[in-house]
Amino acid sequence: MKNFEQYSNLTVERDGAIVLIGLNRVEKRNALNDGLMLALRNVFESLPADIKAAVLYGQGEHFCAGLDLSELRERDAEQGMHHSRMWHRALESIQFGRIPVVSALQGAVVGGGLELACATHIRVADSSAFYALPEGARGIFVGGGGSVRVPRLIGEARMADMMLTGRVYGAEEGERVGFAQYLVPAGQALAKARELATRIAGNAPMTNYALMHVLPRIAEAPADNGLLMESLVSAIAQSAPEAKTRVAEFLEGRAAKLRAGS
């Protein structure tokens, strides 16, 4: 592996066609500040063209403990709105970037850390992970897209419960309600995320792009609009030379066989 760029609060390494991006504020449990958010945005907007998937993880024992409240400044309404919109742009560079992102979750996945995790496409949690939205108890509101992304995963009622009562979900219950798609033993989230990212990197790029950018919009569209979008994207994807090659390999018996649990 080789570092291709240096950041004070991120580690960025590549391994073949994937990149591993580590939140690196261990002394703050990887709490988010503006510098870290801007660094994430810069990384995801400037990845080399031959990178096909990413893994996002936290150095140390925690994924991310949320907003670094020690750096919270007094803002008027206009300043607060622009600050929130900066976070939105940073997280949109992950969710609606060029490549799929797999997050490896351990320890605290809290507040802004949960908002960050929800912007990734596949989430792998280990048994130490826990999820919370403590903003309600602190007199603030989510500002990094959580009011949009979290309900899409677990529903509006569960999110309201978390903020009203301070409810904390452990790893197993969090996986059941939809915070993570995979649950692994403690210490194994990064290895599993890396495995999945490597598999994703082998997909046809157009299919990956459609799953990131088009599928979420189809899911939110009226049925007739969604079906039209599906037809258009299906036609575009199957017309790509790589798709034709892969279909031919399958028809000729040269493609890998599907197996349960794979």
CATH of the domain at 229: 1.10.12.10
Residue among 97, 82, 120 at smallest CA distance from 47: 97
Query: Is residue 110 within 8 Å of residue 66, measured between CB atoms?
Result: yes
Same domain as 116, residue 238? no
Report yes or no on 83 lying in a domain: yes
Same domain as 119, residue 42? yes
Q: Show the domain range for 54.
A: 10-202
Residue finishing a domain among 187, 202, 217: 202
Q: How confident is the model at residue 1 (pLDDT cuts 50, 70, 90)?
A: very low
Same domain as 225, residue 100? no
Domain count for the chain, please give it. 2
Higher per-residue pLDDT: 58 or 6 = 58
> What's the token pair of residue 239?
């017309």
Task: Tell me the per-residue pLDDT of 217-253, one tens digit each, with 9 for 90 and over.
Answer: 999 999 999 999 999 999 998 887 777 777 676 667 7
Same domain as 212, residue 120? no
Q: Hey, is 150 helix, strand or coil?
A: helix
Task: Tell me the per-residue pLDDT of 178-211, one tens digit each, with 9 for 90 and over.
Answer: 999 999 999 999 999 999 999 999 999 999 999 9
Query: Is residue 52 within 8 Å of residue 204, measured between CB atoms?
Result: no
Report yes or no on 3 lying in a domain: no
Same domain as 194, residue 83? yes
Q: How far apart are CA 201 and CA 210, in angstroms?
A: 14
> What's the token pair of residue 223?
């049925």
Same domain as 234, residue 212? yes
Same domain as 102, residue 217? no
The mean pLDDT value for 63-83 works out to 84
Looking at this protein, which amino acid is placed at residue 153? Answer: L
Distance of CA 216 to CAs 177, 213, 220, Å? 19, 6, 7
The set of catalytic residues is 115, 135
Q: How far apart are CA 117 and CA 109, in angstroms?
A: 8
Same domain as 132, residue 179? yes
Same domain as 113, residue 89? yes
Report yes or no on 5 lying in a domain: no
pLDDT for the residue numbered 138? 85
Q: What is the 3-state secondary structure (H, E, C) of 190-241?
A: HHHHHHHHHHHHCCCHHHHHHHHHCHHHHHHCCHHHHHHHHHHHHHHHHHCH
Kind and range of the H or E element at 81?
helix 77-95
> What's the token pair of residue 152?
């899409």
Same domain as 193, residue 76? yes
Same domain as 232, residue 190? no
CATH number for the domain including 21?
3.90.226.10
Higher per-residue pLDDT: 78 or 162 = 162
Residue with tokens 């915070």: 179
Query: Is residue 200 within 8 Å of residue 208, measured between CB atoms?
Result: yes
Same domain as 212, residue 195? no
Q: How far apart are CA 47 and CA 35, in angstroms?
A: 18
Query: Is residue 30 within 8 Å of residue 59, measured between CB atoms?
Result: yes
